[in-house]
Amino acid sequence: MSSPPSKERALEILHNVGCPPNVVRHCEAVSKLAVEIAKACQKRGMNVDLKLVEIGALLHDIGRAKTHGINHGVVGAEIARSKGLPESIISITENHLLAGITAEEAKKFGLPVKDYLPKTLEERIIAYADKRLDGARIVDMEVTISHLSQWLGASSPIIKRIRKLHSEFSSMIRT
């Protein structure tokens, strides 16, 4: 499959693989916020694929059908691949975690050693939108940063990457 599935098909896939209702609601909320950010990017003259953002955000947590661990991105990529989803969606599922994970960090987390950094504008938008939501509710980025700092440490490079995404996209959403 070279292009993302329809919204209806993406939701069907989430249900069919066993994503819990709260995960589906979260994915729908991430998709809504990500599309809002993507439209703001377009207004600023940036080239962004709205359909990829909408569907990629819907499917970003597909791996949570099997696990809620840090490896849900890797598991999600495997599920997406098995469903014949395009590489762009597979990459979103792998690279949305914690605003990106380097190969060195992946090793520490017990993930296959490779970079899981969001590379495209669409991946960065989805990673950011994901960090702005607690379930289906938009939260202040400092809440997310505070929570993750307790786990990762305030000086973690991951926290710096989250702040960078916030700087890039925060002006583009209503909060």
What are the tens digits of pLDDT across the range 84-108? 999 999 999 999 999 899 999 999 9
**pLDDT (average), residues 136-160:** 94
pTM: 0.95
Amino acid identity at 12: E
Say what the pLDDT of residue 173 is: 74
Q: Could you tell me if residue 2 is left (phi over 0), alpha (psi between -120 and 50 degrees) or otherwise beta?
A: alpha
The reported pLDDT for the residue numbered 126 is: 98
Q: In order of start, what are the domains of the chain with their CATH numbers?
A: 7-169 (1.10.3210.10)
- At 4-24, the pLDDT tens digits run 999 999 999 999 999 999 999
Beta bridge partners of 116: 101
pLDDT surpassing 80 at residue 110: yes
At a CB cut-off of 8 Å and minimum separation 6, what does 91 contact?
A: 77, 119, 120, 123
The pLDDT assigned to 175 comes to: 55
DSSP code string of 22-88: HHHHHHHHHHHHHHHHHHHHHHTT----HHHHHHHHHHTTGGGGT--STTHHHHHHHHHHHTT--HH
- The pLDDT value recorded for residue 174 is 65
Please check the confidence at residue 155 and state whether its pLDDT lies above 80.
yes
Task: Check residue 3 and give left, alpha or beta (phi > 0: left; psi -120 to 50: alpha).
Answer: beta
pLDDT at 41: 95
What average pLDDT does the structure give for the chain? 95
Confidence at 26, pLDDT banded by 50, 70, 90: very high
Mean per-residue pLDDT, 122-147: 95
User: What mean pLDDT comes out for the span 69-76?
Assistant: 96
The residue type found at 131 is: K
pLDDT of residue 1: 55
